[in-house]
């Protein structure tokens, strides 16, 4: 497929540091440990572009990954990590709403949920936040290799029902181990990126 590599990373602690080259942005949100870093690395065929878990502390930066000068993946700090203070959570919320409310480059919000589990209240809030700001949403259900194919429908429908996903919103299963879903998700993402 077309996109293979991501090169430049910008870690922004304030909006003045957000890139200004006007590329389309795809934002990625999900609970800590959902597999978001692994997802990003698999999508761009890099082992260590996004740092994988163990370090949920950094709650205040947006990481912009420039993908072949075509688009940015914007990685937002994972939520739901128990040890984060209320003050930190509020900062996170303000950073997200500032970004969502003002960012014209933002074309798509990806919400990652664990395919094995019922989405949490925070997942529901995240979905609703995208909806509130009229951001098109794509659901990615991670760690699909952990679920038998015969249970896919059941798990998909629990996720759809719990998030109250609107009928037009797409849900893709994904596994970094088998790379299931990678191509389909790229095809979908690229429909949001102008040439």
Query: Does residue 24 touch ligand GDP according to CB under 6 A?
Result: no
Toward ligand GDP, which CB reaches closer, 146 or 170?
146
Contact between 113 and 159 under an 8 Å Cβ cutoff? The reply is: yes
Contact positions with ligand GDP (CB under 6 A) in 70-89: 78
Q: Least distance in Å: CB of 69 to ligand GDP?
A: 25
Query: Does residue 53 touch ligand GDP according to CB under 6 A?
Result: yes
43 vs 14, 34, 35, 88, CA distance in Å? 26, 15, 12, 29
Q: Which stretch binds ligand GDP (CB under 6 A): 1-9, 90-98, 127-135, 142-150?
A: 142-150
Q: Which stretch binds ligand GDP (CB under 6 A): 4-12, 35-43, 88-96, 186-194?
A: 35-43
147 vs 14, 78, 153, CA distance in Å? 39, 23, 11
Query: Does residue 143 touch ligand GDP according to CB under 6 A?
Result: yes
Kindly provide the b/e burial profile for residues 100-132, where b requires at least 16 CB atoms within 10 angstroms of the residue's own CB.
Answer: beebebbbbbbbbbbbebebeeebeebbebbbe
List helix spans (H) across the chain: 36-43, 86-102, 121-132, 152-163, 182-190
One residue of 25, 26, 38, 73 binding ligand GDP per CB under 6 A: 38
Query: Does residue 119 touch ligand GDP according to CB under 6 A?
Result: no
Total residues contacting ligand GDP (rule CB under 6 A)?
Answer: 18
Would you tell me which residues interact with ligand GDP (CB under 6 A)?
A: 30, 32-38, 52-53, 78, 142-143, 145-146, 175-177
């Amino acid at each position: 497929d077309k996109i293979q590599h991501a090169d430049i990373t910008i870690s922004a602690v304030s909006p003045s540091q957000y890139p200004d080259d006007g590329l389309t942005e795809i934002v990625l949100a999900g609970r800590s440990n959902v597999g978001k870093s692994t997802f990003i690395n698999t999508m761009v065929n890099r082992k260590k572009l996004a740092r994988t878990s163990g370090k949920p502390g950094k709650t205040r930066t947006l990481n912009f990954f420039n993908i072949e000068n075509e688009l940015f993946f914007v990685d937002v700090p994972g939520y739901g990590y128990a040890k984060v203070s209320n003050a930190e959570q509020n900062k996170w919320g303000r950073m997200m709403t500032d970004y969502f409310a003002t960012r014209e480059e933002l074309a798509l919000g990806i919400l990652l949920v664990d395919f094995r589990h019922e989405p949490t209240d925070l997942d529901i809030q995240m979905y609703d936040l995208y909806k509130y700001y009229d951001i098109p949403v794509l659901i990615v259900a991670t760690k699909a290799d952990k679920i038998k194919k015969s249970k896919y429908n059941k798990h998909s429908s629990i996720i759809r029902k719990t998030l109250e996903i609107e009928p037009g919103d797409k849900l893709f299963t994904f596994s970094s181990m088998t790379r299931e879903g990678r191509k389909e998700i790229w095809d979908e993402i690229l429909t949001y990126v102008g040439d």
